[in-house]
Amino acid sequence: METGAPEGRLENELKREMEYLPPDELLDFLRNGDKFIVAGHISPEGDAIGSTLALAAALRGIGKEAIAYNNDIVPLFFRFLPGAEEISHVLPLNTEDYTLVLVDSSKPFRAALEGVRFRRTAVIDHHEMETYGPGEQPAPMWVVPACPAAGLLVYNLVKAMDIAVDREMAVNLYTAISTDTGSFRYDNTTAGALEAAAELVRAGAEPALVARNVYETWSAGRMRLLCLALETIELRDDTAIMSVSQEMFRSSGATAEDVDNFTAYPRMLRDAKVAVLVSELEDGTLRASLRSKGDIDVRSVARKFGGGGHKRASGFRTTAWKGNIRGLREELLKEISLALQKKDF
């Protein structure tokens, strides 16, 4: 627990900053490799996309072959990112000739790459460490759960490799850091994140350009969808929950990517300690995003449904409640209420 004294805060901040320095094993791993696939998690957001693009560009800048990959399409409001159109959704046939670098994720299945064989696998992530079976753990692994964004880890990695950060990399990394800190509003915003953002602006990132594209390029369909979703908000026992059904997608003309960051709206309620969004995918699979305020840890609830994530931002997908939004809402409200009562958070 951090002390309120300035000296204690500085000591903890310096300790965190040391964790953000890449291990020598990872630096050697990247310098000695020649062919890389850099991949982020499915349903990518700003941190996954920006980090993937920046690291792939950095590796190409030192003469490596580097493919930026994601299983899913890039959401419309992140397609302004330099290089976004070059993200591949198809793997090369000879994946065993490539080294996989997972970014913002630490297990291949989170990038829809389970069962695919690579020469080696490395991990750069800021989620909680996953559990692995015998012989499954990738190496090297650089996992720093206290870090605000994978983009901050990639930025420090690029600097440690003495690779110049150009404007395109700066835009991608600034977007990664700013989106995962809620535009520097969330509790995970650190001095290190703000300092890196300032350096990236000096390198060419434009905060207004990023904010305009991420937050001010809504389609009419997305706005209609939000209006429908707001009508589903329910506040119960310190939890605000909202949902989006396939019928709402159809009637509004919106797409699945349009619900990105919708959890920000129930989170705005003064009396809400936890905010939840349940959305229905085309096949009836339900996806839940959980956000919290202060020191409340929502991972414990997400893990009960097979998910995970960060202390204050977690989620999961489930087919157990296929098409049954009301049922999953009730189960989530029950589990969150029980956890709050037991102080499991």
Whole-number pLDDT of residue 340 = 82
Which of 264, 302, 269 is closest to 185 using CA atoms? 264
Highest CATH level, class, for 220-342: alpha beta
* DSSP result, 183-204: TTTSTT--HHHHHHHHHHHHTT
Neighbours of 332 (CB within 10 A): 23
Reported as a single tens digit per residue, the pLDDT across 13-46 is 555 566 689 999 999 999 999 999 999 999 899 9
More confident call, 157 vs 293: 157
| pLDDT of amino acid 1 | 43
Provide mean pLDDT across the span 185-206: 95
Beta strands of the chain (E only): which ranges?
A: 35-39, 65-69, 99-103, 120-125, 141-143, 234-236, 239-244, 274-280, 286-292, 308-309, 313-318
Query: 6-214 belongs to which CATH class?
Result: alpha beta
CA nearest neighbour of 36 among 6, 4, 62: 62
Name the pTM for this structure. 0.86
- In 3-state terms the chain splits into helix, strand, coil percentages (rounded to 5) of 45, 15, 40
Residues 218-273 have pLDDT tens digits of: 999 999 999 999 999 999 989 999 999 999 999 999 998 899 889 999 999 999 99
What are the start and end residues of each CATH 3.90.1640.10 domain in the chain? 6-214
In the chain, ranges of CATH 3.10.310.30 domains: 220-342
pLDDT digits (tens, 9 = 90+) for 100-138: 999 999 999 999 999 999 999 999 999 887 777 777 788
